[in-house]
Every structure is written in structure tokens, then in C-alpha cells.
Amino acid sequence: MASDGTATRRATRLHPGFAALVVAAAAVLAACAPPPPEPATGPSPDDAPRAGEAAYVGPGPHGVGVTTISLGDRDMELWYPASPEAVAGQPRDTYYVRDFVAGWLEELLDPEVDPPYETAAVRDVAPSPEGPFPLVLFSHGFAGFRLTSTELTTHLASWGFVVIAPDYLERGLASVLGDAVAQPRSDTDVADEAIEAARSANAEPGGPLEGVIDGSDVLAFGHSAGGGTSIRLLERDDVAAAVPMASGISELSLIAGDAPVLPPGKSVTWIAARGDNIAAVANARTGFTYTAGPRRLIELDRSGHNNAFTELCEIGDGGIAAIARTTGLPIPDSLLALGDDGCRRPPNAAGPEVWDEVRHFLTAEMRLRAGLDSEPVGLGDAVLANFDDVLVYRHDP
């Protein structure tokens, strides 16, 4: 462990039995050792007993509901906590990527090519009475759509958040494939409207979401181009923190003076993949260095641009790019490469094998910044003992 708050891990892995023995021995020694003297300034939050817990790998105590809200020319998905009893035995919400492709492509696709993706949410179930819950905005990436990362959005909802995700049609899958957007808008304008729509639903007397959202502050996260959206949103007074995934800030943008503003009082957690051929991990490192406020950097092994952050690699048999290839659709090679990056090609892992790391760090950071946790949980260096696929973890001491 480096003294500057950097923890690194070799790509090679310990035998599971040996690793378990080491962890057990360390636990015994820790229990027997006398407590260290308390520093004059008080204990550091990252040294708290819970700093080593991978507490947020599994689903949280809430069930998850989902509903769709119209923004006029586009839709926004909204996930929210529900009681476990309300979702028990209910069918899970399912989406179809075919609903998000361009019109001309829809005509070429065989009607039977329509693989479903089942999420962890139940549609339009009653929300939990334990609210209000903090508001989180998710932004999808280039050639994406609002449902690309339901493995993360539903996970956050299970841990006590309302998560909204608008369609950024201007960079969405249908637009990239040729469908024109009637009234193009900037990503920050779309995000602004999504936040206001959520707050309006929360304030609607007698509405299904009345009183569910604590909309005083907003937390933002996003994938790829959506990561850029999340950090640009830090310029809003009510956006308190951002978690950009597979995104970054280039040295060139710093030299040119057009890098986004990162206010010193706001936290940014950068999560990057070593095998990403679309968004270079070097840009996440630059973003971490450039961050003026509280900051973290997590670099993942066995991951590319998509598999750790979306379910695009898990749709159908091999992901959406594989579907396009097997059906012989006239999709540009550059777009296929984007959709395929990280998908089940050694050394990359299947998504479910690397989602745990992202779920934990994303949820732990969001809960800390929202005030749901009074101290950091699983954000100290000791948490790396739980993860094989975190190669580098840097953070402010």
C-alpha cells in the first residue's frame, strides 16, 4: 500500500484457499492486537472498522419499482425503492433493445430477432413508505439508450435511491443509426428537464410518486459520453457528486483550456477499465489528477468499455454487436467495435463477473455523499481484499 493513498494489485490472483487463510489470520491478529492510539485530530473515516467491508455488492433491503415518464419528445425511466412484500412474486420488468433502433433497421430485422433482457424491477408497483429517498441521475453513452445499465440503476434503488435515466436521443442508438432528432438539445438541457420532471412527479398531490424523492440535491453518474455529462452537471448548484465510468479528461483538453469545471467542494469517483479501447484509462487518471475536490480512481481488470458498466454484452447471445453481425445488418465497423468492446473476449470477463466491483464502489460513494452513511463504508484500502478485479485504487487519504 503506497503512502499517497494508492493501493495496487497484481493481475495474478492468489489461490482462493490461501487467500481465505491470509484473511482469516489477519482478522485474528487484528482482534488480538491492542488498539492504536487515537490521533489528536480524531480517527480518519477510512480507518473506521467498516472501511474494509464490501457491503454493497449484493442487493439492498428494498424491492425495486420502475415507471416511465414522458419528457415530450423522449422518455425517462425512473427506478425507486419499494417494499420487499410489494415485489415478491411479481413479474420482473423486461426490455427489448429492438425498441431503440432506427426505423430502417427495424424493417430489416427478422421479427424473431428480439431478445429480452429481464431487470430486477417491477413495473408501477407502490413505492416504499420509508422515503423520501435521494435522487440520482444516470446518463447513457454514445449509441446507447436509457436502459443500458439497469444492473446498476436497480441496484442503487435497492439501496435507497430514486434513479432517473432520460434518453439522450442526440447521441442515442437510433440517432447514430440514422434517425433524425426533431429538436436537438444539449445533454445538460436534457438532464435539467429530467431532474425537474422527477421533482414535479414528487410534488404532484395524490400522484404515485408523491413524497418519494428528496430532490434537494442530485448525484450524477454516467457511462462513456454519459460520464462526461455527469461531470458537466457538477456546475449545477444542486449536483453534489459525480461518478463517471469509462470516461475521463484528456491532456489535450487541459492544454486547450476546454476541460470541464470540477468545483473543489464536490467529489468525483472515476471508474475505468484497463482493457477499454474506446475511452483510454489514461484519461480517467488525468481526470483524477485534475479533480480539485474529494476524489477516487478505480481501475478494473478483465474489463473493457461495456462489460463492467452496462448489460450490452449480455443481451441475447454475445451482446448487441454480436446480434448485428449474425443477422448480417449493414452496421459500420466502427459502431460494431464500440458495441463489442469488453464483450466476452479474453481477457475480458462476462458482465456478472465484474459488476460487483462497480456496484460496490458506486453505491458506497453515493450513500456517503447523500448522507445515508455517516462515515465511509467499504471505501478504505482494506476493501480490496474482497475484490480480484481492482488493479488500482487511489483516493485522498
Asked, for residue 1, whether it belongs to a domain, the answer is no
Least Cα distance to 303 among 246, 224, 248 occurs for 246
pTM of the model: 0.87
Asked, for residue 331, whether it belongs to a domain, the answer is yes
Instruction: Please report which confidence band the pLDDT of residue 179 belongs to, taking 50, 70 and 90 as the band edges.
Output: very high
- 61-118 confidence digits (pLDDT tens): 999 999 999 999 999 999 999 999 999 999 999 999 989 988 877 777 777 788 999 9
Asked, for residue 228, whether it belongs to a domain, the answer is yes
Work out the average pLDDT over 140-150: 98
Q: pLDDT at position 22, please? A: 31
Give the structural domain span for 347: 6-395
Q: What b-and-e string marks burial along 136-156, b requiring 16 or more CB atoms within 10 Å of the CB?
A: bbbbbbbbbbbbbbbbbbbbb
Looking up residue 122, the CATH number of its domain turns out to be 3.40.50.1820
- 331-362 confidence digits (pLDDT tens): 888 898 999 999 977 899 999 999 999 999 99
Residue 257 DSSP symbol: T
- 52-73 confidence digits (pLDDT tens): 899 999 999 999 999 999 999 9
CA 374 – CA 294 distance, rounded (Å): 16
Mean pLDDT of the chain: 88
Q: How many domains does the chain have?
A: 1
Q: pLDDT at position 155, please? A: 98
C-beta of residue 220 within 8 angstroms of C-beta of residue 230? yes
- Percent of the chain predicted with pLDDT > 90: 76
* Whole-angstrom Cα Rg for the chain: 21
Q: pLDDT at position 33, please? A: 39
Asked, for residue 16, whether it belongs to a domain, the answer is yes
The 10 Å Cβ neighbour count of residue 202 is 20
Asked, for residue 134, whether it belongs to a domain, the answer is yes
